[in-house]
Amino acid sequence: MPSPEKPQGIPDSPAQPPTAEPPVAPRTDLTTQAQRLTAPSGAVWPLLLLILAANGAPLLLRQLCRNRWAAPVDLGLRLADGRRLFGATKTWRGIGVALVAGMALAPLLGLPPLLGLAAGGLAMAGDLLSSFAKRRLGLSPGSRARLLDTLPEALLPALALMAPLNLTGMDVLLLVMLFTLVHSLASRLLYRLRLRRRPW
């Protein structure tokens, strides 16, 4: 049976274009965002090693040199409280070898030597700050003060190098915790090996 003819004068209806679906906004994965915020940066570990090297190098050099070239940083200066500025155990020799250790180790970790130099210098600045606070509190050189013994030495370089190393607040917290843990374990080991005078 032939199909009926279309009446003349009636135009063909235009083809309807396919309806574009509205773009779907990507779902926010809270778990993924939380992992990004809490995952440690790759720079945490190199910086930790630089701080540990700056901390340990003066101890090793002291075993080699004993009392040679052990001029104190404060040159014997005493403040109004009658106590030394830093104490006899903080020497120019120790600061110098800490700077060299940081600068030499940095290229092996994929970092510029100047950044290693800065890390070593900042770690020693934190160590001097710790000694200054302990002297003002009446604590003798080598005495134990849990937070003062480790916090400034790790926190100061971590905060100062946040921008160059793209560190987050969580990275800084992790770095301080790791340094405190490793410092405690290493101090006990070095004491047993008679490389450290006290187990802290």
Greater pLDDT, 77 or 26: 77
Q: How confident is the model at residue 172 (pLDDT cuts 50, 70, 90)?
A: very high
Distance of CA 177 to the CA centre of its chain: 10
- Reduced to 3 DSSP states, what percent helix, strand and coil does the chain have, rounded to the nearest 5? 60, 0, 40
Residue 136 phi/psi, 5° resolution? -65, -30
The contacts of residue 5 (CB under 8 Å, 6+ apart) are none
Instruction: Copy the structure tokens of residue 100.
Output: 């060299």
Instruction: Copy the structure tokens of residue 75.
Output: 């040159």
Instruction: Copy the structure tokens of residue 188.
Output: 């006990």
Residue 167: pLDDT over 80: yes
Instruction: Copy the structure tokens of residue 73.
Output: 């940083």
Mean pLDDT for the stretch of residues 174-197? 87
pLDDT for 149 equals: 87
Give the C-alpha separation, 176 to 73, whole Å. Answer: 26
pLDDT for 143 equals: 81
Instruction: Copy the structure tokens of residue 22.
Output: 């509205």
Q: How confident is the model at residue 32 (pLDDT cuts 50, 70, 90)?
A: very low
- Give the other-Cβ count within 10 Å of 178's Cβ: 17
